[in-house]
Amino acid sequence: MFGWFGKVSFVPYTKVSDFAVHLKDGRLMGSVCADCGRFAFPPRADCPDCLSGSFEYREISGRGTVHTFSTIAAAPTGFEDMAPYTVVVVDLEEGGRLLAWAGETLDPADVKIGMPVQVVPRIFEETPEIRVYYSVEEPGATWGKAPVRGGEG
């Protein structure tokens, strides 16, 4: 059923994307539709409900619970050196879902469906594209955030 787990990959974002800039700053951002208030993570420029094209970013906590998880023993090309590794699908507290890697503070053997976790954005590589992944840590885990940039809410 979760065949796409085998295709887990770093997600590239272009530097012009505000979403990527926020991730680089350590902030997880969802979008809120300016017209109907619909929340979405990852952010959506066009509202899936009312089709409005206006939205603003809203920072989310990264708190969530484990929806499901899988340990990859036979890694796809490019990830062989990392196997075995555990990937986790997290239901975010504010809504939305993401795929993350079990992080430093979490023993993959301890991961259970329904357990509370903290999602932390990580920069894998900064090239013309910022390559980002999420790690899943114990609740209460903290990470570095850049100061809020001027003029942004």
Chain contacts with Zn ion (rule: CB under 5 A): 33, 35-36, 38, 47, 49-50, 52
- Provide the minimum distance between the beta carbon of 45 and Zn ion in the complex, in angstroms, as a whole number: 11
Distance CA 97, CA 62 (A): 10
How many helices and strands (H and E) does the chain possess? 1, 9
- Choice between 56 and 104, CB closer to Zn ion: 56
- Provide the minimum distance between the beta carbon of 126 and Zn ion in the complex, in angstroms, as a whole number: 33
- Provide the minimum distance between the beta carbon of 50 and Zn ion in the complex, in angstroms, as a whole number: 3
Residue 114 CB contacts under 8 Å (≥ 6 apart), including other chains: 65, 66
- Choice between 21 and 34, CB closer to Zn ion: 34
- Choice between 47 and 88, CB closer to Zn ion: 47
Q: Which residues pair with 120 in a beta bridge?
A: 135
Match 């990852």 to its residue by tokens.
42
